[in-house]
Amino acid sequence: MTMTWTEAAPGVWHARIGDPRMLTPLTLIEAEPKLDALKRLGKVDPPFERDSVHMEAAGGGRRMLVLPLAANEKLYGTGLQFMRTNQRGRTRYLRVNSDPKQDTGETHAPVPFFVSDRGYGVLIDTARALTMHLGSSVHLEGTGKEDAKDRNRDAGWRATVPSARAEIRLPEEGADVYIFGGPALGDAVCRYNLFCGGGTLPPKWGLGFWHRVPALFSAEETLAEAKEFRRRDYPCDVIGLEPGWHSSSYPVTYEWDPERFPDPERFVRELADNGFRVNLWEHPYVSPESGLYAALKPLSGNYSVWGGLAPDYSLPEARELYVKQHQEKHVAIGVSGYKLDECDGSELTNNAWMFPEHASFPSGLDGEQMRQLYGLMFQKMTNDMYRSANRRTFGLVRASNAAASSLPYVLYSDLYDHKQFIRALCNSSFGGLLWSPEVRRARSAEDWVRRMQTVCFSPLAMLNAWGDGTKPWTFPDAEPIIRRYIKLRMRLLPYLYTAFARYLEEGTPPFRAMPFAVTPEEFARAENMRLEAQTINTSEGAYGKRNVPQWDDQYMIGDSLLVAPLVEGEKEREVLLPSGSWIGFETGELYEGGGVVKVRSGIETIPVFVRDGAVIPMTSALPHALRPGEQAPLELVHFGTAEGECRLYDDDGITLEHECGVCGWWRAVVARTEDGGFKGELSGPAPLPASYGSVKWSFARMGLGYHDE
Ligand code: GAL
């Protein structure tokens, strides 16, 4: 079956299969492609003939979309995966599920988009759960005798037999298929993000430190805890409330509990006076005790969850009810946003809930579609609510899907493996997602420090103490280290904010996995080095275990910083450094890139590397991010021996005025002087961005210095 392709935007091709005219991630988000930015990326063809992508009829009346794969091609993405980065050779069941404990593809955000290291991406825009065979299915026709190997004798035997085809089972009704050109993997991801409306730009406070208090804390206890942050000199921007703020929860009312929160307005104001925003936990299932219940009932699905309604928010009437209540009770008194929990559903034996796939909703959507889209629906509805008040929000969500890059939400999970959390950070960058490796508790001070270090170098730096009541100062020996890293995050806010502004305007993810930063050849070289270093007894056939490194335990922030976390029990590790010279961000040690280096580090430091010549815009470690009208000193810190430059973005940090051009880009250039020193020049629409009252340069730094503040 041939497909008819049209160019939907520069370097983006679209083909429609069947009649998929129903709600999909792209239509729900009402994504407006950023055409100017896409044009700047130019036109480019994918590295295969478009006609080699075709449809095949298959068993059981299925329709398969077939794409050719090259011999060593790697495929990344399929959403928030925890178990692996390279999805080549895997079958992915892309279904929303809150317990991604097995490597099947099911996860909180199973995005039906993947990207290849040959430089193209593929999106199937559908509300259906989708199965992708990413080089995991081998046709008998085309299988030769030599393909059957003997595992007893042949060390070349592999469990996953290479297949040169990706086969995607399309939903019965059909789907929209998009192919994104490169030329590099990173370009294909940028095109995908730009096509979906660009990346999100959080309010400045969203990038500060977040703390969620125990589930049943009262207003008084919460205020006392918040003040403790100030007293102990720990920066903090957002206080998160958990289920106990609702008058009843599981199902929820969205109404303040009159005993724990007798005067919500005063509570929010008092926190604001101390520089804190309030984030409210909630979930979709509406309690019979909620004032919304009666009106929402006819607009809900025909199955209950925890005795509550599952409203159909694809209906404008349902959205109106939800938004009116939330506006009046929360937004109007200053609540900054939400943690949208439980919208993924679970099948765990001791903890199972969700409406079934065969549920039906008044709009005509069924339970499968609603579950795949529920997280997106809440993100869109709440974001629109804040946008209509000319305010930015930033929050958390536990389910997402395709086309989410422009939504101001960060994913999190009840899973808690530190390495998996780092891998999820890497994987989120391939598909327009953000992820928080939140810290909840720790087995030891070392575990605590290592997790805190990672989270401080992540999209959302949060301690989620809802169940454990842990505080940043819970492990007294580790206190100074934790404080230093939270402060270092605050100092890096100009750099982080600029990285997010590039996400908004250019589609470049602020946090990126290594395949964005090294070529497939460099990647393969490093992989072989590690494989060769593994001693496997090949005389016993192929029963030995080989660990194929994926370099998914390290990542880039922006163009200039590379983070290589250590987890509890590790004192040293290998790091894949892109070519060029690198400097230990805090230690000042010098490394030659273009391969693998070894680093050792005690718990007082997380290995972070900065490119030689990089200019990092920093500021002082304020107790909370700048509010409009406030100013801080700007520090432009140049590292190493090479000349270099950086960009710096600024706006008011909380409204949407930047979308009408009330924002600016500056360029900081460091060049050599005749006497061999360095000089710096900052240029832009004004001598200084409005957020900064002064600028201080420092040149040729070898490391930040351990106690430098
Ligand atoms: C979980 C969520 C936790 C916490 C808890 C409260 O589902 O992942 O972070 O919010 O609910 O009941």
Name the residue of 280, 398, 414, 464 to mutate for ligand 1: max ligand atoms within 8 A of Cβ. 414
- Span from the CA of 454 to the centroid of ligand 1 (angstroms): 21
Residues 251 and 295 in one domain: yes
Tens of pLDDT, residue by residue over 292-334, are 999 999 999 999 999 999 999 999 999 999 999 999 999 999 9
- Looking at 138, 167, 195, the residue that finishes a domain is 195
Residues 448 and 583 in one domain: no
CATH of the domain at 130: 2.60.40.1760
* In a domain? residue 707: no
pLDDT at 706 over 60: no
**Lowest mean pLDDT, pick from 44-48, 299-303, 569-573, 672-676:** 44-48
Q: Which residue has the tokens 């494989």?
A: 531
- Span from the CA of 341 to the centroid of ligand 1 (angstroms): 7
Q: Which atom of ligand 1 is nearest to the CA of 215?
A: 6
563 in Cβ contact with 555 (< 8 Å): yes
Residues 493 and 521 in one domain: no
* In a domain? residue 178: yes
Q: Which atom of ligand 1 is nearest to the CA of 464?
A: 9
Q: Which residue has the tokens 């993000």?
A: 193
* In a domain? residue 551: yes
pLDDT classification of 707: cutoffs 50, 70, 90? low
Residues 210 and 109 in one domain: no
DSSP single-letter state for residue 255 = S
pLDDT classification of 351: cutoffs 50, 70, 90? confident
- Span from the CA of 345 to the centroid of ligand 1 (angstroms): 12
Mean pLDDT score, 438-454: 98
Question: Which residues does ligand 1 sit against, CB inside 6 Å?
Answer: 215, 242-243, 281, 341-342, 414, 464, 466
Indicate which residue's Cα is closest to atom 3 of ligand 1. Answer: 414
Tens of pLDDT, residue by residue over 466-515, are 999 999 999 999 999 999 999 999 999 999 999 999 999 999 999 999 99
CA separation for the pair 92, 111 (Å, rounded): 10
- Span from the CA of 121 to the centroid of ligand 1 (angstroms): 34
- Span from the CA of 630 to the centroid of ligand 1 (angstroms): 35
Secondary structure (H, E, C), 600-636: ECCCCCCCEEEECCCEEEEECCCCCCCCCCCCEEEEE
- Cα-only R_g, the chain: 25
303 in Cβ contact with 359 (< 8 Å): yes
Among residues 265, 286, 239, the alpha carbon closest in space to that of 466 is found at: 239
For 604, 623, 697, 704, the CA distances from 489, given in Å and listed in that order, are 15, 11, 19, 13
- The two tokens of residue 24 are 């999909």
Angle of CA points 552, 438, 202, to nearest 5°: 90
Residues 445 and 584 in one domain: no
* In a domain? residue 122: yes
pLDDT at position 58: 94
Indicate which residue's Cα is closest to atom 8 of ligand 1. Answer: 414
- Span from the CA of 23 to the centroid of ligand 1 (angstroms): 28
Q: Tell me the residue range of the domain where 474 lies.
A: 204-507
- Span from the CA of 657 to the centroid of ligand 1 (angstroms): 34
* In a domain? residue 705: no
* In a domain? residue 1: no
Residues 491 and 521 in one domain: no
pLDDT at position 392: 98
pLDDT classification of 62: cutoffs 50, 70, 90? very high
CATH of the domain at 426: 3.20.20.80
Name the residue of 412, 466, 468, 470 to mutate for ligand 1: max ligand atoms within 8 A of Cβ. 466
In 483-627, which ranges are E strands?
511-513, 555-557, 561-563, 572-577, 581-584, 590-592, 595-600, 608-611, 615-619
Tens of pLDDT, residue by residue over 279-291, are 999 999 999 999 9
Considering the chain, what is the average pLDDT of its residues?
Answer: 95
DSSP string for 407-463: S-EEE--S---HHHHHHHHHHHTTTT--B---B---SSHHHHHHHHHHHHTSSSEEE
Tens of pLDDT, residue by residue over 501-556, are 999 999 999 999 999 999 999 999 988 887 777 766 667 677 776 677 789 999 99
- To the nearest whole percent, how much of the chain has pLDDT over 90? 90
- The two tokens of residue 122 are 């593929």
pLDDT classification of 254: cutoffs 50, 70, 90? very high
Tens of pLDDT, residue by residue over 154-187, are 888 888 888 999 999 999 999 999 999 999 999 9
- The two tokens of residue 227 are 């003040």
CA separation for the pair 670, 154 (Å, rounded): 57
How many domains are there within the chain? 4
Tens of pLDDT, residue by residue over 594-612, are 999 999 999 999 999 999 9
Residues 445 and 303 in one domain: yes
Residues 667 and 538 in one domain: no
Residues 540 and 651 in one domain: no
pLDDT at position 709: 53
Residues 503 and 517 in one domain: no
For 225, 315, 637, 662, the CA distances from 418, given in Å and listed in that order, are 26, 39, 31, 40
Please state the pTM of the whole predicted model: 0.97
Other beta carbons within 10 angstroms of residue 163's beta carbon come to 19
- To the nearest whole percent, how much of the chain has pLDDT over 70? 98
- Looking at 128, 161, 195, the residue that finishes a domain is 195
- Looking at 471, 490, 507, the residue that finishes a domain is 507
Tens of pLDDT, residue by residue over 410-419, are 999 999 999 9
Tens of pLDDT, residue by residue over 356-385, are 999 999 999 999 999 999 999 999 999 999
Q: Which atom of ligand 1 is nearest to the CA of 412?
A: 8
Residues 335 and 286 in one domain: yes
616 in Cβ contact with 492 (< 8 Å): yes
Residues 519 and 484 in one domain: no
* In a domain? residue 706: no
**Lowest mean pLDDT, pick from 238-247, 252-261, 340-349, 429-438:** 340-349
pLDDT at position 542: 74
Q: Which residues contact 519 (CB under 8 A, 6 or more apart)?
A: none
